[in-house]
Chains A and B, each alone.
Chain A
Amino acid sequence: MSTRSVNGSVDALLEIRDLRVEYTRDTGAIRVLDGVSLAIHPGESLGVVGESGAGKTVLVRTILGLLDPPWRVVSGSVGYQGENLLAQPESALRRVRGKEIALTTHEPRKHLNPVATIGDQMARVVQAHRSASRTEARARAIELLRVVGIPDPELRLRAYPHELSGGMCQRVVIAMALAHSPKLLMGDEPTAGLDVTISLQILDLMRDLVRDFHSSLLLVSRDLGVVAHYCQRVAVMYAGQIVEVAEVPAFFAGAIHPYSRRLLRAAVAATSDRRGTLSSVGIRGEGRGASCPYARRCPVWIERCTREEPPLELVASARWVRCFRHAEITAGLEAP
């Protein structure tokens, strides 16, 4: 399954090719990422959506080489500036992490050191990739906190994470992520657990900063609403694979892959008062041989879906779908 870069274009900032990651237990290995190929371009914001278990967080952590056993990379590459990040030694990766590619996660408070002040933590981040004195690092920290909209940043330097609200912690984490103007900011569900009114502030902040810094944004989310308003392109993940990639307006006007369609329908249904006829009872998504992972739940499956695994194909301009029946769906002959 080696398509040329998923976008076919040469100027991808980060290019993931056919990535396979496993999780080993006493009872055997589970394939968590099963041939993921994806490209992100400079200055674009790409959304990765999927439900729990799809592999989104594992994908993001693999990019930065943050996988510990029992997870391990089986095959594939992550190309960044001509190098395969997965083949780099830890020392090289450390130069990339935080400086070129940065990550914010959900539950920001858990990712801050509870026994160090915000000032100390930010200073350490600043000094990680730049030789700076204590005063310089402190000044830079204050500047960054201001940029992310934290009032009275000089006072906040002495605060501990537990003294800050969830929204504030997330701002601090974003400030740390942007400390070295990375080319790619990855946000793993940055608004999970945050209140709705705060979430908007955080998302607006991320979007504006990424634009000001001319960086790219990879936004992982379970919320299609977030992707609709903050991303230019969207990639849908299911069972460790990318099943559809599209530009946002085209995707929301009409998704092609049956799973994408289901997700979209459910998201619309959950935010409206129209009734639907969905049911997910009794559907098990485990264990399959060479076949489409969605076949068991798919309303338009054919026999071929149970024998072969569909490749991710370019079906229209900037549109990739992993489904044997994409043509019929696009033509309106089938409406899964």
Chain B
Amino acid sequence: MTGASVLAVQALVKHFPVGHGRAVKAVNGVSFQIERGEALALVGESGSGKTTVGRCVLRLIEPTSGAIAFRGDDILTMTAEQFRGRRRHLQLVFQEPYDSLNPRMPIGRILDEPLMLAGRGSPAARLSRVHDLLDMVGLGRSFIALYPHQLSGGEQQRVGIARAIATDPDLVVLDEPTSALDVSVRAEILDLLVDLQARLGFAYLFISHDLTAVRRVCQRVAVMYLGRIVETGRTDEIFERPLHPYTRALLSSVLYPDPAREQARFLLTGEIPSPIDLPPGCPLYARCPWSRPECDLSVPPLEALLPDRHVACFRAREENGIGPR
């Protein structure tokens, strides 16, 4: 764990018990680091565990095991009280723009609350800060008196973003921030996120199932499947040349709004297996077109196949034509 990293997650595990000694193994040993001002995406479909990782990082859920260091301090060993003081540096933007806002609170109060709880000066000073926040996210000051239901989805999400950056956090976790928005609004929210990061310098943990959304915002991507990271690397490099079969399938499943752009399909067969009964070997074994019997024997570790590219697949080296180390 380097001194400069804002977030360092080590061997994170989260199992949700469901009775009879069984558990939903949502997260199974995830490790990654985010440096100051960096944007890392955690990409995966349902059951990948990405949302659970995000919730663990914010301690909205308590992990089963593992370590999470925020700005160098292990936050899992802190008491709830101690951590509450840290929360102002570690914020979350939610997936549901409307439901993440208290329907009975006017916008002004929603934005004032984090400031008030962080002891950010007099009500007048806080009001001034609220005005600044609204400006920063492209909303006018008149929004202060409005209630959430009076705003459009895009505007509601801007409020959610404003609330997240209110206390100058070091890390903002974005949990599918555009998935619930109409297509016409997604791009502008993503652009806003990029702008804010450029101006204010915080780090992002961008959780999404949509690889194309993370492309605009994140320099690095970690692809997750059934609770494990299966590929990490730079976003543009992964888009250009995905090495892990799951990443390839994800990328080739994107339907671009251009009928002429037919993609070579890399298809996975079948369904995502249940996270309760995980297979003993590679989690993708049953669906992967490259799978061999050896793949079911043990879980492939993350290895560096290329500089700055880690892949967890026994077959990836051979199938991608990469020579031995």
Q: Interface residues, chain A, CB within 8 Å of chain B? A: 51-52, 151, 165-168, 195-201, 222-229, 248-249, 252, 262-264, 266-273, 275-276, 278-283
Instruction: Please tell me which one of the listed residues B215, B257, B267, B272 contacts residue A225 in the complex, with CB atoms under 8 A apart.
Output: B257
Known: A222-B183, A225-B254. 17 other contacts (CB 8 A): A52-B153, A165-B271, A196-B250, A196-B254, A197-B250, A199-B253, A223-B183, A224-B257, A225-B257, A248-B259, A252-B257, A252-B258, A269-B187, A270-B213, A271-B254, A275-B194, A281-B139
Q: Which residues of B contact A226 (CB under 8 A)?
A: 255
Query: Which chain B residues (92-126) contact chain A, with CB distance < 8 Å?
Result: none
Q: Is A276 touching B182 in the complex (CB atoms < 8 A)?
A: no
Q: Which residues of A contact B154 (CB under 8 A)?
A: 280-281
CA distance A271 to B251 in the complex (A): 11
CA distance A223 to B210 in the complex (A): 13
Instruction: Please tell me which one of the listed residues A196, A227, A276, A282 contacts residue B191 in the complex, with CB atoms under 8 A apart.
Output: A276
Q: Which residues of A contact B272 (CB under 8 A)?
A: 165, 195, 198
Minimum CB–CB distance for A323 against chain B, Å: 17
Contact mask for chain B residues 188-218; partner A; CB cutoff 8 A; 1 contact, 0 none = 1011001000000000000001101101100
Assuming the contacts A200-B267, A276-B187, asked whether A249 and B259 have C-beta atoms less than 8 A apart, the reply is yes
Assuming the contacts A196-B250, A200-B253, asked whether A167 and B182 have C-beta atoms less than 8 A apart, the reply is no
Q: Which residues of B contact A263 (CB under 8 A)?
A: 183-184
CA distance A166 to B47 in the complex (A): 12
Instruction: Please tell me which one of the listed residues B139, B184, B250, B257 contacts residue A271 in the complex, with CB atoms under 8 A apart.
Output: B257
Q: Which residue of B lies closest to A151 (CB)?
A: B270
Q: Is A268 touching B182 in the complex (CB atoms < 8 A)?
A: no
CA distance A271 to B210 in the complex (A): 9
Q: Which residues of B contact A278 (CB under 8 A)?
A: 184, 187-188, 191
Q: Is A197 touching B249 in the complex (CB atoms < 8 A)?
A: yes
CA distance A334 to B191 in the complex (A): 25
Q: Which residues of B contact A280 (CB under 8 A)?
A: 152, 154, 184-185, 188
Interface status of B138 (Cβ within 8 A of chain A): yes
Interface status of B35 (Cβ within 8 A of chain A): no
Q: Is A228 touching B183 in the complex (CB atoms < 8 A)?
A: no
Q: Which residues of A contact B213 (CB under 8 A)?
A: 270
Assuming the contacts A271-B254, A279-B138, asked whether A252 and B259 have C-beta atoms less than 8 A apart, the reply is yes
Q: Is the interface of A mostly helix, strand, loop or mixed?
A: helix
Most buried by A among B140, B185, B258, B270: B258
Instruction: Please tell me which one of the listed residues A196, A262, A268, A276 contacts residue B257 in the complex, with CB atoms under 8 A apart.
Output: A268
CA distance A264 to B183 in the complex (A): 9
- Size of B's binding interface in residues, CB under 8 A: 44
Q: Is B255 touching A229 in the complex (CB atoms < 8 A)?
A: yes
CA distance A151 to B215 in the complex (A): 36
Interface status of B302 (Cβ within 8 A of chain A): no
Q: Is A225 touching B256 in the complex (CB atoms < 8 A)?
A: yes
Q: Which residue of B lies closest to A164 (CB)?
A: B271
Q: Which residues of A contact B215 (CB under 8 A)?
A: 272-273
Q: Which residue of A lies closest to B216 (CB)?
A: A273
Q: Which residues of B contact A276 (CB under 8 A)?
A: 187-188, 191
Minimum CB–CB distance for B26 against chain A, Å: 16
Instruction: Please tell me which one of the listed residues A151, A195, A228, A269 contacts residue B255 in the complex, with CB atoms under 8 A apart.
Output: A228
Minimum CB–CB distance for A286 against chain B, Å: 11
Q: Which residue of B lies closest to A166 (CB)?
A: B46
Most buried by A among B152, B183, B258: B183
Minimum CB–CB distance for A233 against chain B, Å: 12
Instruction: List the 8 shortest-distance A-B pairs measured between CB atoms, nearest first.
Output: A225-B255, A269-B187, A195-B45, A224-B257, A266-B184, A271-B212, A267-B257, A51-B182
Instruction: Please tell me which one of the listed residues A227, A279, A282 contacts residue B188 in the complex, with CB atoms under 8 A apart.
Output: A279
Q: Which residues of B contact A267 (CB under 8 A)?
A: 183-184, 257
Instruction: Please tell me which one of the listed residues A262, A264, A270, A275 contacts residue B186 in the complex, with CB atoms under 8 A apart.
Output: A270
Q: Which residue of A lies closest to B255 (CB)?
A: A225
CA distance A281 to B155 in the complex (A): 6
Interface status of B268 (Cβ within 8 A of chain A): yes
Contact mask for chain B residues 262-301; partner A; CB cutoff 8 A; 1 contact, 0 none = 1001011011100000000000000000000000000000
Q: Which residue of A lies closest to B139 (CB)?
A: A281
CA distance A200 to B216 in the complex (A): 23
Contact mask for chain B residues 162-179; partner A; CB cutoff 8 A; 1 contact, 0 none = 000000000000000010
Interface status of B88 (Cβ within 8 A of chain A): no
Query: Which chain B residues (130-182) contact chain A, with CB distance < 8 Å?
Result: 138-140, 152-155, 158, 178, 182
Q: Is A270 touching B212 in the complex (CB atoms < 8 A)?
A: yes
